């Protein structure tokens, strides 16, 4: 087959309307074969004719979209020196835009013999591995535009493509669990009615189902096992996997954008699916192991692992950095996504051994004119030494605030000495972020996420129940900061049931009325349960899928969530762009500060009260007249003022509303116990008896408006 020299850039397979350019980086290769795989599995091998700066390349006029291909890389196989080239293995293109098939666990995927790792396995992996696919890059985006929601106006919804849509009754059965299902009007309508502004999709980069899970009849459901950083996962495609998943993914993004919803991808650039030294040879390992992976300095046959998955990418390699940046730009430019959440992001900061937040990766992101302008969210920890880095990322970044999650859970389950930190988390965690010049939007607040209990299970279980995973209930987090409200698991006890429902409402209201960026986990608004399993990473079944068959109680929770999301959306005092300064309103006659913390008697909290171990009740005043920041058009922001009364105690607590300086009358907006009805009016200094473990929100109009009304 005729092949032309082609070009060394861009890397990967690039179709230009006539033919396809193939380019592959390998600093150790001695010869590279491009392998064209036909529908019957037969293979045509063509030597790439050119190499420039370690990039092997060639242009094939005959290669059209849909063509499956792979590489065979001839070079050193010397694990002790860090080299694992193996031409017996058909390798994926690291830059493949689409991938066909899935591995089957056959021994031929491994470059060593089972039971004897020192002996080479020369079996051919073709037919047992995945293949890369040439894609057609052209797509009619029409009038698609990025919604570009400001962080402080965002409500993020963490979702799993398959789990969210697999059981949706209004989605056609043949497309449930796919990109097409996520873009279906019924799913989009749910998201818009809920009021979310962005979906944060769990991994959609092509991932591998671990053979060890397959042997137990399970799968890698969550997808944190990436092998293709440019390819949408083919298992979520409704219409085949030979390149059509790219078009389908783009159509999903276009549909969500049309509904003014952003798409954020949960990306896993810290490791790959090839695992440790006993893992399969699928791509990077066989192409240039020492350039892609971080190896143990004095034992290069083994991998330096800070992810708990067997390997870590080498973040000081320019070729790894190029791969990651090329991937990010591709998803923004070609796939139109709006941002990224970086899994185990502390690993990306490990240029050497320690976590360095100013490592090369962050420098490159900072100066990149494309990536620096989209949403960047870090999971600010990994499993290595010094890996817990909440508050430690550069100013451009937002972070999953794990301390927010832990503190709010502790407060509502009644842990002592939590009130002071609870106040810090509620007001934006300035103690974590302000010292680096960041603002409240640096804190992505969450109560639950994919990893751990659902909201319903958080209030229903003290212990994890992961027996279905087949790991003797040893997997998953054992310290969940959960409380079952008196009974483990399902119960018919009406008092326990009501308390659980109230606790769920408490958590949702706290999350959505906190400063920062709230993130909901999919299905929490619907009362989703995983029956106490806090680690459903391998459960692709009804245990993990969202159940859309709602009873009256779950319908009420959905409507409640919509109400609180709307309250946040309508009132900028709950989503300030800057931290509270403790300053009075500008230009006003009042001495009221922008925020005030009051005890149940309506007087300012003292230092001693904050430190009382048993203190579980507080009232916060949010001054809408003193937001002290212009909106994006430069106009002064004035809002209603609010009182939020928190009673985390196990008994009723009587609150006295503050005096007339704060406002003559207050109107009830929300009560998680439903003791007070929305619209009820309360006078200054009125006494309100709050139910155990409940919160109440009251409001009054701006002072000028109130005085005009008088």
- Percent of the chain at pLDDT > 90 equals 88
Rounded average pLDDT over 146-165: 98
Confidence band for 661, pLDDT divided at 50, 70 and 90 = very high
SS3 299: strand
Tens digit of each residue's pLDDT (9 = 90 or more) over 483-533: 999 999 999 999 999 999 999 999 999 999 999 999 999 999 999 999 999
Q: Measured in whole angstroms, how far is the alpha carbon of residue 578 from the centre of its chain?
A: 24
Confidence band for 635, pLDDT divided at 50, 70 and 90 = confident
Structure confidence at residue 445 (pLDDT):
98
- Is the separation of the CB atoms in 620 and 657 below 8 Å? no
Residues whose CB falls within 8 Å of the CB of residue 314, separated by 6 or more in sequence, listed in order: 291, 292, 293, 294, 295, 320
Nearest to 383 by CA among 359, 405, 357, 350: 350
Distance CA 578, CA 562 (A): 25
Q: How long is the chain?
A: 710
> Tokens representing 581?
């300064």
Q: Is 291 left (phi over 0), alpha (psi -120 to 50) or beta?
A: alpha
Q: Which of 266, 274, 379, 625 is catalytic?
A: 379
> Tokens representing 505?
């409402």
Nearest to 399 by CA among 421, 428, 423, 365: 428
For residue 423, give the H/E element and its range.
Answer: helix 419-426
Distance CA 259, CA 189 (A): 8
Listed in order, strand segments (DSSP E) in 379-509 are 398-400, 443-446
Rounded average pLDDT over 301-330: 95
Beta strands at 20-25 and 12-15: parallel, antiparallel or unpaired? antiparallel
Q: Return the half-sphere exposure (C-beta side, CA atoms, 13 A cut-off) of residue 600.
A: 17
Residues whose CB falls within 8 Å of the CB of residue 185, separated by 6 or more in sequence, listed in order: none
Q: Among 90-99, 345-354, 683-692, whose mean pLDDT is lowest?
A: 345-354
Structure confidence at residue 349 (pLDDT):
80
- Is the separation of the CB atoms in 648 and 692 below 8 Å? no
SS3 543: coil
> Tokens representing 588?
């006003």
Nearest to 72 by CA among 104, 37, 39: 37
Domains (range + CATH), the chain: 1-315+326-357+373-395 (3.20.20.80), 401-570 (3.20.20.80), 589-700 (2.60.40.1180)
> Tokens representing 30?
């001695």
The backbone torsions φ and ψ at residue 322, rounded to the nearest 5 degrees and listed phi first, read -65, -45
Distance CA 40, CA 241 (A): 16
Nearest to 278 by CA among 79, 29, 78: 79
Q: Mean pLDDT for the chain?
A: 95
Residue 358 has pLDDT above 60, yes or no: no
Listed in order, strand segments (DSSP E) in 356-397 are 375-378
State the DSSP code for 4: B
Distance CA 513, CA 524 (A): 17
Tens digit of each residue's pLDDT (9 = 90 or more) over 192-230: 999 999 999 999 999 999 999 999 999 999 999 999 999
- Is the separation of the CB atoms in 601 and 653 below 8 Å? no
Q: Which residue has 């927010």 as its token pair?
A: 404
Burial call 615-635: b when 16+ CB within 10 Å, e when fewer: bbbbbbbbbbbbbbeeeeeee
Listed in order, strand segments (DSSP E) in 26-129 are 31-37, 43-47, 50-52, 55-60, 68-74, 77-78, 83-84, 98-100, 112-113, 116-120
Distance CA 446, CA 517 (A): 9
Structure confidence at residue 301 (pLDDT):
97
- Is the separation of the CB atoms in 161 and 206 below 8 Å? no
The backbone torsions φ and ψ at residue 560, rounded to the nearest 5 degrees and listed phi first, read -60, -45
Give 270 or 243, the one with higher predicted confidence: 270
Rounded average pLDDT over 678-704: 95
Angle of helix 419-426 relative to helix 402-413, nearest 10 degrees, comes to 130
Distance CA 11, CA 22 (A): 7
Q: Is 379 designated active site?
A: yes
Rounded average pLDDT over 550-560: 98
Nearest to 397 by CA among 359, 436, 451: 436
Tens digit of each residue's pLDDT (9 = 90 or more) over 572-596: 999 999 999 886 655 444 578 999 9
- Is the separation of the CB atoms in 485 and 124 below 8 Å? no
- Is the separation of the CB atoms in 320 and 308 below 8 Å? no
Residues whose CB falls within 8 Å of the CB of residue 184, separated by 6 or more in sequence, listed in order: 165, 168, 170, 171, 172, 175, 255
Residues whose CB falls within 8 Å of the CB of residue 330, separated by 6 or more in sequence, listed in order: 97, 230
- Identify the burial level of 332 via C-beta atoms within 10 angstroms of its C-beta, where 0-12 means exposed, 13-18 middle and 19 or more buried: buried
- Is the separation of the CB atoms in 386 and 355 below 8 Å? yes
Tens digit of each residue's pLDDT (9 = 90 or more) over 439-487: 999 999 999 999 999 999 999 999 999 999 999 999 999 999 999 999 9
State the DSSP code for 306: S
Distance CA 630, CA 636 (A): 5
> Tokens representing 288?
């240039």
pTM reported for the whole predicted model: 0.97
Q: Which of 86, 200, 274, 343 is catalytic?
A: 343
Structure confidence at residue 583 (pLDDT):
64
Residue 58 has pLDDT above 60, yes or no: yes
Nearest to 365 by CA among 352, 374, 354: 374
For residue 78, the cross-strand partners are 83
- Is the separation of the CB atoms in 375 and 365 below 8 Å? no
Tens digit of each residue's pLDDT (9 = 90 or more) over 419-432: 999 999 999 999 99
For residue 205, the cross-strand partners are 232
Residue 384 has pLDDT above 70, yes or no: yes
Structure confidence at residue 107 (pLDDT):
97
For residue 341, give the H/E element and its range.
Answer: strand 339-342
Tens digit of each residue's pLDDT (9 = 90 or more) over 63-91: 999 999 999 999 999 999 999 999 999 99
Residue 634 has pLDDT above 90, yes or no: no
The CB density around residue 310, as the number of other CB atoms within 10 Å, is 18
Q: Return the half-sphere exposure (C-beta side, CA atoms, 13 A cut-off) of residue 441.
A: 18
């Amino acid at each position: 087959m005729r092949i032309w020299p082609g070009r060394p850039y861009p890397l990967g397979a690039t179709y230009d309307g006539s033919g396809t350019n193939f380019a592959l980086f390998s600093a150790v290769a001695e010869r590279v074969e491009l392998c064209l795989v036909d529908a019957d599995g037969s293979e045509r091998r063509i030597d790439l004719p050119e190499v420039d700066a370690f990039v092997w390349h060639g242009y094939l006029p005959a290669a059209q979209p849909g063509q499956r291909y792979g590489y065979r890389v001839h070079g050193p196989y010397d694990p002790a020196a860090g080299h694992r080239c193996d031409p017996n293995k058909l390798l994926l293109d690291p830059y493949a835009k689409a991938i066909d098939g899935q591995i089957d666990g056959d021994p031929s995927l491994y470059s060593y013999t089972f039971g004897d790792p020192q002996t080479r396995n020369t079996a051919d992996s073709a037919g047992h591995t995945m293949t890369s696919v040439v894609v057609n890059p052209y797509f009619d985006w029409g009038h698609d535009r990025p919604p570009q929601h400001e962080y402080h106006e965002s409500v993020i919804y963490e979702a799993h493509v398959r789990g969210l849509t697999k059981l949706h009754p209004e989605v056609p059965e043949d497309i449930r669990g796919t990109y097409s299902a996520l873009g279906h009007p019924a799913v989009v309508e749910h998201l818009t009615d809920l009021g979310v502004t962005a979906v944060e999709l769990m991994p959609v980069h092509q991932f591998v189902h671990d053979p060890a899970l397959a042997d137990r009849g399970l799968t890698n459901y969550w997808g944190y096992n990436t092998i293709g950083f440019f390819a949408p996962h083919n298992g979520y495609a409704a219409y085949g996997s030979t390149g059509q998943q790219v078009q389908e993914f783009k159509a999903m993004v276009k549909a969500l954008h049309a509904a003014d919803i952003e798409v954020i991808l949960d990306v896993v650039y810290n490791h790959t699916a090839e695992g440790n030294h006993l893992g399969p040879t699928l791509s990077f390992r066989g192409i240039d192991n020492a350039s892609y992976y971080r190896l143990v300095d004095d034992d290069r046959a083994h991998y330096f692992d800070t992810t708990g998955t067997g390997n870590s990418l080498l973040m000081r390699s320019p070729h790894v950095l190029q791969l990651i940046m090329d991937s990010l730009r591709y998803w923004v430019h070609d796939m139109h996504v709006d941002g990224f959440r970086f899994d185990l992001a502390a690993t990306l900061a490990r240029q050497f051994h320690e976590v360095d937040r100013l490592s090369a990766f962050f420098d490159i992101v900072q100066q990149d004119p494309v990536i620096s302008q989209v949403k960047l969210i870090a999971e600010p920890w990994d499993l290595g030494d010094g890996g817990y880095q909440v508050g430690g990322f550069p100013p451009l970044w937002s972070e999953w605030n794990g301390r927010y999650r832990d503190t709010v859970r502790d407060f509502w389950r009644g842990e002592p000495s939590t009130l002071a930190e609870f106040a810090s988390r509620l007001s934006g965690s300035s103690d974590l972020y302000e010292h680096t010049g960041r603002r409240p939007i640096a804190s992505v607040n969450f109560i639950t996420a994919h990893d751990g209990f659902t909201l319903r299970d958080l209030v229903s279980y003290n212990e994890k129940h992961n027996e279905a995973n087949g790991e003797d209930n040893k997997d998953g987090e054992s310290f969940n900061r959960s409380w079952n409200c008196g009974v483990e698991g399902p119960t018919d006890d009406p008092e326990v049931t009501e308390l659980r429902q109230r606790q769920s409402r408490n958590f949702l209201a706290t999350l959505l009325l906190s400063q920062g960026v709230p993130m909901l986990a999919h299905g929490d608004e619907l009362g989703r349960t995983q029956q106490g399993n806090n680690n459903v990473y391998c459960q692709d079944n009804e245990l993990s899928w969202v159940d859309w068959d709602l009873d009256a109680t779950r319908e009420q929770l959905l409507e409640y969530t919509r109400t609180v999301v709307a309250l946040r959306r309508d009132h900028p005092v709950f989503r300030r762009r800057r931290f509270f300064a403790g300053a009075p309103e500008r230009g006003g006659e009042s001495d009221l500060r922008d925020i005030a913390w009051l005890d149940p008697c309506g007087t300012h909290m003292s230092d001693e009260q904050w430190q009382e171990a048993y203190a579980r009740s507080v009232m916060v005043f949010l001054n809408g007249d003193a937001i002290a920041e212009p909106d994006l058009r430069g106009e002064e922001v004035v809002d209603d003022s609010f009182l939020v009364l928190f009673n985390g105690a196990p008994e009723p607590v009587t609150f006295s509303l503050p005096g007339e300086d704060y406002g003559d009358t207050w109107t009830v907006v929300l009560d998680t116990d439903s003791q007070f009805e929305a619209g009820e009016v309360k006078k200054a200094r009125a006494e309100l008896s709050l139910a155990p473990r409940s919160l109440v929100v009251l409001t009054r109009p701006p002072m000028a408006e109130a005085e005009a009304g008088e």
